[in-house]
Amino acid sequence: NMLPLVDEICMHNVTFGYGDGPDILKNVSFHIPAGSFATFVGSSGSGKSTALQLLMRFYDPREGSITFDGVDLRKMSEKSLREQVGVVFQDTFLFNATVRENLQMGRSGITEEEMIAAAKAANIHETIMAWPQGYDTPIVQEGASLSGGQRQRLSIARSLLRKPKILLLDEVTSALDPSTEGHINQTIEGLKGTTTTISVTHRLSSIVHADLIFVFHDGRIVEIGSHKEL
């Protein structure tokens, strides 16, 4: 499992807008090498989440192209894309089933050890074990009774369990306290080399560990560098 199967994530002169609306991304190009940890930063409305949505192919660019490993996203099957890309958004989706079922999402062949490892990496294992039925605890009201941070960590564990080659995180640590955030940041750092991660964040503590920082402004990337360079 040491060799990343995706060489790189690239946008090539991508321009995009929603529907008939104005251009939201304007001639955006970037290159994220396999196994690296990149962050998207920049002001609200600058297009960071939109860029992630294009990487998941929720939409296609108006102009330009997006490639994974040199392969145009438009030539990839939806199944292959869903297998390769793990996503955690701010609004996480839990359903009324046990914790275990929420983590495994109907996939078979997941061992107890793998599930626990993912939960530990997301800093949620101890919380789960403190619940009366542990991993068999039912989640009710789609998780409304859990804290935002708990929902977030369950969602991160679920994504890690899928072992995606590409992991997209949109402000996932915003609902977390600093200690939990630090733990998740360590986990993301530990994925370097095997997972290509893009994290949208406002937190300096998340940025310092990034290999590459892309600064968005008004639909363009205006700066690229490491934390030291910027």
Question: Least distance in Å: CB of 61 to Mg ion?
Answer: 18
The nearer residue to Mg ion, 49 or 196, going by C-beta atoms, is 49
Question: Least distance in Å: CB of 48 to Mg ion?
Answer: 5
Task: Report the alpha-carbon angle 169-175-176, nearest 5.
Answer: 95
Q: Name the closest residue to Mg ion (Cβ).
A: 49
**Residue 50 engages ligand ATP in binding (rule: CB under 6 A):** yes
Question: Site residues (CB under 5 A) for Mg ion?
Answer: 49
Question: Least distance in Å: CB of 26 to ligand ATP?
Answer: 11
**CA distance linking residue 177 with residue 2, whole number of Å:** 32
**What is the DSSP-derived secondary structure letter of residue 162?**
T
**Contact in structure between 224 and 38 (CB atoms under 8 Å):** no
**Residue 67 engages ligand ATP in binding (rule: CB under 6 A):** no
Q: Which of 68, 75, 69, 159 shows the shortest CA–CA distance to 119?
A: 159
From ligand ATP, Mg ion, none, interface partner of 21 (C-beta below 5 to 8 A by class): ligand ATP
**Contact in structure between 224 and 36 (CB atoms under 8 Å):** no
Question: Least distance in Å: CB of 200 to Mg ion?
Answer: 6
**Residue 18 engages ligand ATP in binding (rule: CB under 6 A):** yes
Q: At what angle do helices 148-161 and 112-121 cross, to 10 degrees?
A: 130
Contacting residues toward ligand ATP, per CB under 6 A: 18, 21, 24, 44-50, 216
